[in-house]
Copies of this chain bind each other. A is one copy, B any other.
Amino acid sequence: MQEFCSAFRISTALSIIVQKYGGTSVGTTERIRNVANRLLATQREGHQVVAVVSAMAGVTDNLLKLASEVSNSPTDREMDVLLATGEQTTIALTAMAIDDLGGSAISLTGAQAGIETDGVHTKARISNISPTEVHRLLNEGHIVILAGFQGRTAEGRITTLGRGGSDLSAIAMAAAINADLCQIFTDVDGVYTCDPRVVPDAQKIDVISYDEMLEMASSGSKVMQSRAVEFAKKFGVRFEVRSSLNDNPGTLVTHETMSMESVVIRGVSLERDQAKVTIEDVPDKPANASKIFQAIASANINIDMIVQNVSWDGKADISFTLHKNDLAKAKEVLKPTLDGLGNEVSLSAMDGIAKVSAVGIGMRSHSGVAAQLFSALGEAGINIQMITTSEIKISVTIVEAEAEEAARVVHRAFDLHQPRG
């Protein structure tokens, strides 16, 4: 808890706090007034405050519906112009609410806030932020309300940042204005050691490192998109994930510290709806694996785990996992490639599998973690299919029917149900 609390002890000097509120948190005008109250309370504590807000829940879906009614394939450029109105509506309403409550707020669109991006519409990347205007407004005593999810190109075109873009806006603005803390308000209390719906005694994590957060996210715990976490890591932005529905402290995501390694496993994540493809007897020549994965990539299919073994006769077996919805397409695009690799090559596939991962930087300094995990699953009679490991993560695939039981077994094997002080 010590590190977490320190985030709130920086207020002797004037500090800058960025708070991000997602679509649910600003889903009604009543909730927008709640957010306004929260922002004012933070300012009264002596901080300079920047809020990053998303479109009100449901608004983006309505806009997408309108687009589908006028066009079968709306252009990405105009889609960005359309979707950007969602956040623009929220910033105006939030600023009005603050003024009505006796405060002073100024709204800024992504363009007005100097968030410059590349020109890849609907999934643009931030290339530069000019924080001059935000600093000026903060120094004049205003709360700055920034439209998340959006920016502009150097030529002035409106762009959006894609899924989870508002988190990215908040983290990037926090980096640009050298904020002391970025708070991501959402509808959960923070990051948990596992999904509490699966593991009822899962514990809220007080502090987690960027790398652990990234591995948790990529393993199915979708509190935040990986892009935003990666950006925070790159620019050293401390951020906290917490609930907009209560005042509970959340989870602080920060750089790695010595004390973090004392915890072997930080959390367990579970990803369902996976499928597995195994290609057997691939001649073990340099270019063969790349031919296979290029075929998959060209169909825009994301794959997750990859495992390869080479047998004594110079043939390789390659397995990989992907979302079950992509399985049929993957088999289709692989056919011509495999036909070119020789007669003996065969493909088998199955869906109905899940992935369970144990994540923790403590793994690096503690031996026997993999053995402990395999043994716990074995004792519970759960059969392991594929195994992959990274420096701070061990993942296994299992039959989906056993997924929840597996998560509970691993969670308990590493004592994650114990509250930590």
Contacts and interface: CB of A to CB of B under 8 A. Distances in A.
A29 B75 contact: no
How many interface residues does chain A have, given as a range?
Answer: 35 or more
Interface of A: 29-30, 32-33, 36, 63, 66-67, 69-75, 77-79, 81-82, 84-85, 88-89, 91-97, 99-100, 105-107, 109, 111-112, 156-158
A89 to B, nearest CB: 5
Contacts of A111: 111
B89 A85 contact: yes
Nearest to A68: B29
16 contacts: A29-B66, A29-B69, A32-B70, A66-B93, A70-B93, A70-B100, A71-B96, A71-B99, A72-B100, A78-B99, A81-B88, A82-B93, A85-B89, A85-B92, A88-B88, A109-B158
Nearest to A97: B70
B112 A70 contact: no
A67 B88 contact: no
Nearest to A107: B81
A191 B7 CA distance: 67
A85 B70 CA distance: 18
B89 A82 contact: yes
B100 A78 contact: no
B84 A96 contact: no
B70 A29 contact: yes
A95 B107 contact: no
Contacts of A97: 70-71
B107 A93 contact: no
A148 B100 CA distance: 29
A79 B100 CA distance: 13
